Structure 1
Amino acid sequence: MAPKIFVTGGTGYIGGSVLHTIVTSHPDYEVSVLLRNIPDAFSSTYPNVKIIKGDYDSFDVLADAASKANLVVHNGNSDHEPSLNAIIAGLLRRSTPGFLMHLSGTAVVVDLHAEKYLGKAEPKIWSDTSNLADIWALPDTAPHRNTEKILNETVAKHGDKINIAIMCPPDIYGRGKGLAKTWSAYVPMFIDEAKKLGAAFYYGDGSNFKSWVHIEDLMHWYLKVVEAAASGGGGLDWGKDGYYFAGTQEVSQLDIAKVAGPVLKKHGVIQNGEPQQISLSTLDSMLQAVPYPKISRYMFALNSRTRPERAQKLWGYKGSAPGLLEVLEQDIADSVEKK
């Protein structure tokens, strides 16, 4: 019997790519997707995918769909508690254990209010194996911590009924595979702020590092876990050990600014291609429309260094796609074209 997969966030950058990857890699799977708005080409592109109309606040719809699925791949808003609670409630209705892959993100390990390494390289690199106890003990103020706590509590109470994997990618680059949003969060934000400032930018000495992954490598990582769930677990880690980082490289903010500056000048976004050092007040004035405190510090000045040791150990995961700095010009060109 074909495994039944329920996907949420199917028009997002990650969720749309996940849906496309599952459907094209495994046409034998029975796939359903939650959609609030249906892209024009959706039914012709994915004729065998069942559309379930609803949104993240549609508790009964989500719970019912989850109860009928062997695996739920939950994408989109990583902090949305009602949708996660609905999916868990649905999976608990199953007569046999189901699987849940929940999208989180490496912002969870970043202290948004810390200033010691703001604009500087922080030596700590988080591991999803040796630092797992520290990750589970992060403070409630950490980004994504609210939903990760729900998942951790679910493992403690219902680990025999739901097999959970927390998918925790870093910043992502490259063109998405879905039908709607095909661009990452970072590049459009960086372009908008560079345009206002008149230059590519960095804070401090710009040596703060973040982990990155190309969308292609991320989809290989996702598919491995999906296939394992579809086969009943596949020897991967679930529950209290089911935590997965996905970064394939580290890049500093200064290196991004050095590469992006000439590209932005070439496209007429800025006049000066030389990177500019900014003040703390300028940094904190950025991204005011994004409803997360200190988000500009996370995006442009803090460190988020993670190592995917679990995936490396379990299946030899490593990046094969071009690096961020190799793809950055194309990502910028794509973003400028959309504006």
Structure 2
Amino acid sequence: MLPPKIFVTGTSGYVGGDVLYELLSTHPEWEHSITCLVRNPAHEAQFKARYPNLRLFFATFDQPAVIEEEVAKHELVLHFAMSADNVPSATAIVNGLRKRGGGVYVHTSGTDILLDLGHELLYTPNRIHIFNDWEGISELTSLPDKAVHRNVDKIVLAAGSDTLKTAIVCPSTVFGAGRGPILRRTEQMYNLTRLILETGKGLQLGDGKSFWNCVHIHDLSRLYVRLIDEAIFGGSKASWNSEGYYLVEGGEYFWGDICRRITKEAYRLGLLASEEVMVLDMENRAVMAPAGRPVANYKVKAKALRARKLLGWTPSQLKLQDEIPEIVKEEARAYGLS
């Protein structure tokens, strides 16, 4: 069997770079048949040093026709770069695969799409709505148009056909050390840590019981590779198109607990004067904005059943709570405090 021709965007980024690592660790013989879209030519040397046989394709999302022509030469596309919100790139990928006569499109969205769905105040404790991708698959594929990422999700969902398989991978907070060639860290927890270090004391929003889901980057990458293998080797386990929506989570966390753990570790390292945690009321929630929109979420959570049931995927890496010491140390170094 000839190696598959795969087109990948966003491999200089955190998730895309780690998936590329996992994919080539699993199938090193595929390196010469993978094309990576590179939007910043300055990254060429780093890619070549790490993956000398990888084919690099230089273009930007302001050139959708160019991307479309290149996509048409490949049987499978993995989209990571600005994937959740960039309409021209998703459209170019769909058009390119249609021009080819079909193929497989694995798209990356995000669970922020579940926020603000009919809730006036996410931060008012109330009944929790659990989205799941098994019995609740139709709910996920028919979310209101006002939902963030929904405009691009609709493009991907509408493209699915007998000849064009689509899958949407929808991860929650991603954490852990990445293994890609360029960017190896995520923003959310590092931004929260920096905010606490800059403030000089711990921060907590309200009662600290707002929550969200999370998944380790290595576990997430293993799921992508399982989907890719299903597509390339003609497996029958994965579901596609209208049933190809995969939430990804390895558990959940409470924001207050994470904030206290960051504060305690920063104090232990001598980065804060005390373990004091300042409680912010909800009217001042904008202070916590660097941590992301879910910081005030009391209403919704995700349950990833599809990957577990169909692909046998189970998260096996460290929990977010166990990663806090390394996150604090790394952010302190970046901030010039150690």
The 8 Å contact of residues 201 and 278 in structure 2, kept in 1 or not, is answered as: yes
Cα distance, 1:112 vs. partner? 7.5
Calculate the TM-score normalised by the size of structure 2. Answer: 0.90
Match in the other structure for 1:146: 151
Identity %: 29
Among 206, 230, 233, the alignment partner of 2:232 is: 230
**Amino acid of the structure 2 residue aligned with 1:50:** R
- After superposition, the C-alpha distances for 1:69-115 in whole angstroms (9 at most, x for unaligned) are 111000021100001111111000113x3000000001111117846
Seen in structure 2, the aligned counterparts of structure 1 residues 7 and 25 have a Cα distance that, compared at 3 Å, is same
Match in the other structure for 1:276: 278
RMSD: 2.1
Match in the other structure for 1:315: 311
1:26 and 2:31 aligned: no
Seen in structure 2, the aligned counterparts of structure 1 residues 205 and 222 have a Cα distance that, compared at 3 Å, is same
Cα distance, 1:65 vs. partner? 2.1
Residue 93 of structure 2: SS of its match in structure 1? helix
Among 306, 322, 329, the alignment partner of 1:326 is: 322
Match in the other structure for 1:85: 91
Seen in structure 2, the aligned counterparts of structure 1 residues 254 and 119 have a Cα distance that, compared at 3 Å, is farther
The 8 Å contact of residues 202 and 253 in structure 1, kept in 2 or not, is answered as: yes
Seen in structure 2, the aligned counterparts of structure 1 residues 169 and 189 have a Cα distance that, compared at 3 Å, is same
Cα distance, 1:320 vs. partner? 0.7
The 8 Å contact of residues 173 and 331 in structure 1, kept in 2 or not, is answered as: no
**Amino acid of the structure 2 residue aligned with 1:33:** C
Seen in structure 2, the aligned counterparts of structure 1 residues 35 and 267 have a Cα distance that, compared at 3 Å, is farther
- After superposition, the C-alpha distances for 1:20-76 in whole angstroms (9 at most, x for unaligned) are 211221122211100022253311210111000012222123112211111100002
Instruction: Quote the Cα distance in structure 2 between the aligned partners of 1:121 and 1:249.
Output: 21
Instruction: Quote the Cα distance in structure 2 between the aligned partners of 1:160 and 1:112.
Output: 31
- After superposition, the C-alpha distances for 1:156-207 in whole angstroms (9 at most, x for unaligned) are xxx1231000010100110011121111121122123223433232222111
Unaligned runs of 5+ in 1: none
The 8 Å contact of residues 212 and 294 in structure 2, kept in 1 or not, is answered as: no
Cα distance, 1:119 vs. partner? 6.6
Pick which of 136-145 and 261-270 moved more.
Answer: 261-270
Seen in structure 2, the aligned counterparts of structure 1 residues 122 and 39 have a Cα distance that, compared at 3 Å, is farther
1:36 and 2:36 aligned: no
Match in the other structure for 2:72: 67
Matches within 5 A, 1:188-227: 188-227=190-229
Match in the other structure for 2:165: 163
Instruction: Quote the Cα distance in structure 1 between the aligned partners of 2:157 and 2:45.
Output: 38
Residue 52 of structure 1: SS of its match in structure 2? strand
* Structure 1 residue runs of 4 or more that deviate by more than 6 Å after TM superposition: none
Pick which of 274-283 and 26-35 moved more.
Answer: 274-283
**Amino acid of the structure 2 residue aligned with 1:139:** P
The 8 Å contact of residues 140 and 245 in structure 2, kept in 1 or not, is answered as: no
Instruction: Quote the Cα distance in structure 2 between the aligned partners of 1:40 and 1:272.
Output: 44
Calculate the TM-score normalised by the size of structure 1. Answer: 0.90
Among 295, 299, 315, the alignment partner of 1:300 is: 295
Instruction: Quote the Cα distance in structure 1 between the aligned partners of 2:15 and 2:196.
Output: 25
Instruction: Quote the Cα distance in structure 1 between the aligned partners of 2:136 and 2:118.
Output: 21
- After superposition, the C-alpha distances for 1:276-327 in whole angstroms (9 at most, x for unaligned) are 221223212444xx7xxxx84x242214521111011112221111111011
**Amino acid of the structure 2 residue aligned with 1:83:** S
Instruction: Quote the Cα distance in structure 2 between the aligned partners of 1:326 and 1:66.
Output: 40
